Amino acid sequence: MSDNTPRVAAGDDSQTGSRSSRAAKRQSARPVLAEARVSETMELDPAVMFPLLGSTDGNLRALEQVLSAEIHVRGNVVTFEGAPSDVAVGKRVLTELAAVVTAGGPVTPDAVRRSVAMLTRGVSESPAEVLSLDILSRRGKTIRPKTLNQKRYVDAIDANTIVFGVGPAGTGKTYLAMAKAVQALQAKQVSRIILTRPAVEAGERLGFLPGTLHDKIDPYLRPLHDALHDMMDVEAIPKLMAAGIIEVAPLAYMRGRTLNDAFIILDEAQNTTAEQMKMFLTRLGFNSKIVVTGDITQVDLPGGSKSGLRAASEILVDIDDIHFAKLDSSDVVRHRLVSSIVDAYERFDASETASSNRAARRGTGPRAAHR
């Protein structure tokens, strides 16, 4: 009996290739299965439920939005429905935030979002460790880090003699440093606090401002006074300043001094020159600690002078007992728009720099050389 089945010659893979192609097309045409959904429950201490869930369940809604999962609560039992990864993160977030509530800390939708970010990044510190680190308490208000980088910044202040806190506006650089200074004074770790700023104006001239020299300089030091009022009894501050226990002064007043047994903060350090920064850092005496804060994207120095903060970050980076703590837009604790504004300006600056570099390369290319 003859075999009428078409044969494919050895080495001729045109038909097998065609069949493989059709099989591949059928495979690609099949719908991709979504990650299987699961449903899991967890039971929490009834005492933590209200502060954990938030007013009108605001914290719960924030968690649902970040995880794209459904969360249902009956009594003190929480049910998660969603992808296994989202359910696992959701349960871990509630466990961590329940620990924060138990420790007396507040839980807000912002804390929920930051906790999810920490857990999904796989960092070593837990949200409960970050959000439960109390620095200072006054009249029912407790100052504590709100982000992972803020906690690392605070830990660095404890562990090092000189710390640079570098980051954009609103990341808590100065406020947390002030809280650590007041904490150190109250614990008698130091005998005085010295707060200083360079008197560099953003587009204005000191000479044209009204009043005496003190009146001209005071507005530049006002943010430091405001932070002090948040952390100490208002009535006590003038007495401490009169006694020299708290000193708020322009950077120029630091020249020629040796600062012993003090917690010293230099704010707005991006507006120091390299010479001023060297002068300030070499004021360090025995049993003293220095924290330098600034934002290298907001330099107001005239004539394009190089920032002393930028120079220090290049010169001092490898010296033991000096630490550079970096904060970014994710650490902004002001209005949520501030973080978006910081990011937008960074993107614009990066685009401008890239355009300038391309123009410079074109200007020095082969054609430019023949002109």
Distance CA 42, CA 351 (A): 48
pLDDT computed for residue 141 by the predictor? 85
Say if CB 315 and CB 309 are below 8 A apart: no
pLDDT computed for residue 157 by the predictor? 98
* Residues 6+ away with beta carbon under 8 Å from 196: 248, 249, 250, 251, 253, 254, 264, 265, 266, 267, 280
> In the chain, which stretches have pLDDT less than 50?
1-2, 5-16, 19-20, 23-33, 202-205
pLDDT computed for residue 211 by the predictor? 63
Distance CA 191, CA 227 (A): 19
Q: Which pair of structure tokens corresponds to residue 106?
A: 């507040």
pTM score of the predicted model? 0.79
